[in-house]
Amino acid sequence: MIVSRTCCHFLGVYPIIAGVATWIAGGLQTVEIVSAFGKAFADNRYMGLIWLTLSVIALLERNGLKEQARHLISRLHAATTGRVL
């Protein structure tokens, strides 16, 4: 599966790769790198929820959420307030 450059940048993949490359070039061990990512994730726990939500929305969009919403709205075109309530 090929992931577009925009998607990688949007999801923050390139900054992570750049950080890992910098840490490796700086001589840090793998355990220290994983520990730093774990600490950052624990300190910013709610940011993880935002990334998870964005990922789920992206997957839903890819699998036809927009088309399903359009179909549902077209079916509700004749709906009135009385019918909805």
| pTM for the structure as a whole | 0.33
Cα–Cα distances (Å) from 17 to 11, 21, 33, in that order, read: 12, 6, 12
Tokens 């999801």 map to which residue?
11
Cα distance between residue 50 and residue 47, in whole Å:
5
Helix 13-25 to helix 30-43 angle, to the nearest 10 degrees? Answer: 140
**pLDDT digits over 10-62, tens only?**
555 677 777 777 777 888 787 887 787 778 777 877 767 777 787 888 888 88
